[in-house]
Amino acid sequence: MYTGIKLLTFVALTVSAAEFTTATSVDVLIIGAGISGLGAARTLLTSKPTLNVLVLEASQRAGGRIYTVTSKGGLPIELGASWIHGASASNPITQLAKQFGLKTAISSDDQFFLTNGTGKEVTYKAVNTVYRAFYKWMENKLTNKDRRSVRTMLDEYLKAKKLSSYDQSLLKAGVNSNIVQEYASGLATLSAAYFDQDGGFDGDDVMFSNGTIGLINGLLPGTQVRYGQQVSAIDYSSTTQVKVTTIRGDVFTASYVISTLPLGVMQRNTVKWTPALDAAKVQAMYMLNFGTLDRITLVFNTNWWDSEKEDCWVNRLTADNEKNLFTEFYSLTNILNRNALVAFVAGDLAAPFEAMSNTSILSGALAALSSMFPSITVPQPTEYFISRWAQNPFSYGAYSSIRPNATSGSVYDTLGVPSSNKRLMFAGEATQKAYPSTLHGAYNSGVREAKRILQVLGGKH
Ligand SMILES: Cc1cc2nc3c(=O)[nH]c(=O)nc-3n(C[C@H](O)[C@H](O)[C@H](O)COP(=O)(O)OP(=O)(O)OC[C@H]3O[C@@H](n4cnc5c(N)ncnc54)[C@H](O)[C@@H]3O)c2cc1C
């Protein structure tokens, strides 16, 4: 009998941390127990163990967009981040993984496309050749001042080139894989000039064998976190301290506050800022998207697809991949030795996906697999796990990307500028242009703000 787990998005993952006792006045208050907030706390406490540092976290768990749950069979299942992108020794997440003794496995970039309905294989090379031609054409057309979206560029290209319907399907599959899935936003909301301005580290992409949550469990010890404390107001009008209020009515004061509120939360205006955030920051907030990437993980008794496809990305080629759900699957068989497939849904399709019932999502994913493997009777999974990041009130999406009205990637840096009285700092993945939307970018930003405070305090860092 099928025994799928109906997974609510906000099931608490219990993480033990010392409960803070009485003080509501601390040296440094950090808002958010994601990797940026916990990275900041650890940097502060490592350098100055006597500092009174407190983290306020709205949910009942640490990790934020790192969210590992455990299947009934004991497998760690990711609902959020799963890869270290560019796991060279200089990547700070590689360094943390090493410090915490976390086992990782190299993820292959291999990809296959299986044609919808027939299962006919199309190589990644075939898709990529058509995609690269478009990308090069777009690059040559763009200037730094260009405000066109990727959608506009794609429409112009299709009009100019008159591709066959088959080549159009290859191009749309390439655009969906390389742009929509990667940047988690629809093409109309992505700046053609800047969407891929981000940098990266060399090296393979790797996954955590026992869950990305190992990073959080490694960062937590020694840091005091109060869970269920959703910040509703931040008053930084004083030159000596910042006052933070939570929806429970609790009040905290601190000499310094580091806010790691996700951009999605900032854009919703659920927090009252006194004084209001400056115009440059507000403008920067709306030059960025906060897009959505969701995933459904299907756990099976057998790796029934492996006789057909050994590993990695197993994609579905439809007439227009941007308009169809369940076109990108990743096989965890070889990398993590488990009989599981993960389907990703991104950009404009995320909202309709999240509005579907769990059973409709499951049957849609299985129907897609059946169309890719027409000669196999696709079995029911033993369990499945669905994320709904856009519905999460503590992020409202997955991560940031650059809108067509942005003047450059430096809008990210504007979000990381501290208040003029230097009491309120901002960290999080969207506060730096070098590595937005990543674990390493988020972690670096927390360390950056901790160091800023240590510099003022004269600490060793
Ligand atoms: C589905 C998905 C897949 C991803 N895949 C990858 C990947 O493979 N590799 C990679 O490098 N990156 C990936 N990312 C991006 C990565 O997860 C993020 O960039 C990173 O985790 C962000 O960390 P952060 O500390 O900035 O924010 P968060 O992790 O969001 O932390 C912010 C914290 O603030 C809390 N909070 C929110 N509002 C309030 C409030 N009002 N009061 C108090 N607390 C509040 C939240 O609950 C949260 O715990 C992925 C993200 C998603 C969603």
Mean pLDDT of the chain: 93
Q: Is the dihedral of CA 138, 170, 400, 391 positive or negative?
A: positive
CA–CA distance, 220 with 448 (Å, rounded to integer) = 18
Average pLDDT on 107-131 reads 93
- Amino acid at residue number 224: Q
In short, whether 225's Cβ falls inside 6 Å of ligand 1 is: no
Q: Which atom of ligand 1 is nearest to the CA of 38?
A: 25
How many CB atoms lie under 10 A from the CB of residue 363? 12
What is the residue with the minimal CA distance to atom 13 of ligand 1?
Answer: 81
**Element (H or E) spanning 97, and its range?**
helix 92-99
Going by C-alpha positions, the residue among 269, 304, 293 that lies closest to residue 349 is: 293
Q: Which of 143-147, 173-177, 235-239, 454-458 has the lowest mean pLDDT?
A: 143-147
Residue 12 above 70 pLDDT? Answer: no
Pick from 394, 400, 444 the residue to mutate for probing ligand 1's pocket: most ligand atoms within 8 Å of its CB.
Answer: 394
* Cα of 262 from ligand 1 centre, angstroms: 7
What token pair was written down for 16?
Answer: 């033990």
The verdict on pTM exceeding 0.85 is yes
How many CB atoms lie under 10 A from the CB of residue 175? 25
What token pair was written down for 12?
Answer: 């608490």
pLDDT, position 310:
63
* Cα of 55 from ligand 1 centre, angstroms: 15
Query: Reduced to 3 states, what is the DSSP secondary structure of residue 49?
Result: coil
Q: pLDDT digit string (tens) for 364-412?
A: 999 999 999 999 999 999 999 999 999 999 999 999 999 999 989 999 9
Q: Which atom of ligand 1 is nearest to the CA of 441?
A: 19
386: β partners = 296
- Any idea which residue has 């429970």 for tokens? 248
What is the residue with the minimal CA distance to atom 38 of ligand 1?
Answer: 394
Query: Are residues 255 and 215 in contact, defined by beta-carbon separation less than 8 angstroms?
Result: no
Query: Reduced to 3 states, what is the DSSP secondary structure of residue 362?
Result: helix
pLDDT, position 231:
98
Q: Which atom of ligand 1 is nearest to the CA of 389?
A: 53
Q: pLDDT digit string (tens) for 299-338?
A: 999 999 976 666 689 999 999 999 999 999 999 988 888 8
pLDDT tier at 142 (50, 70, 90 boundaries)?
A: very high
Q: What is the DSSP string of 294-348?
A: EEEEEE-SS-TTTTT--SEEEEEE-S-GGGSS--EEEE-HHHH-SSEEEEEEEGG
pLDDT, position 11:
33
Burial of 226 (0-12, 13-18, 19+ CB in 10 A): middle
Q: Which atom of ligand 1 is nearest to the CA of 62?
A: 49
In short, whether 333's Cβ falls inside 6 Å of ligand 1 is: no
pLDDT, position 307:
62
Query: Are residues 445 and 433 in contact, defined by beta-carbon separation less than 8 angstroms?
Result: no
In short, whether 68's Cβ falls inside 6 Å of ligand 1 is: no
What is the residue with the minimal CA distance to atom 15 of ligand 1?
Answer: 438
What is the residue with the minimal CA distance to atom 1 of ligand 1?
Answer: 80
- Amino acid at residue number 457: L
pLDDT, position 17:
41
Torsion over CA of 246, 248, 250 and 255, rounded to 10 degrees? -10
pLDDT, position 264:
98
Average pLDDT on 251-279 reads 98
CA–CA distance, 445 with 451 (Å, rounded to integer) = 10
**Element (H or E) spanning 171, and its range?**
helix 165-175
Query: Are residues 422 and 210 in contact, defined by beta-carbon separation less than 8 angstroms?
Result: no
* Cα of 120 from ligand 1 centre, angstroms: 38
Structural domain boundaries of the chain?
Answer: 25-103+207-290+398-457
Assign domain 25-103+207-290+398-457 to its CATH superfamily.
FAD/NAD(P)-binding domain (3.50.50.60)
What is the residue with the minimal CA distance to atom 49 of ligand 1?
Answer: 64
pLDDT more than 90, % of the chain: 88
CA–CA distance, 370 with 358 (Å, rounded to integer) = 18
Of the spans 1-15, 294-308, 409-423, which averages the highest pLDDT? 409-423
pLDDT, position 460:
44
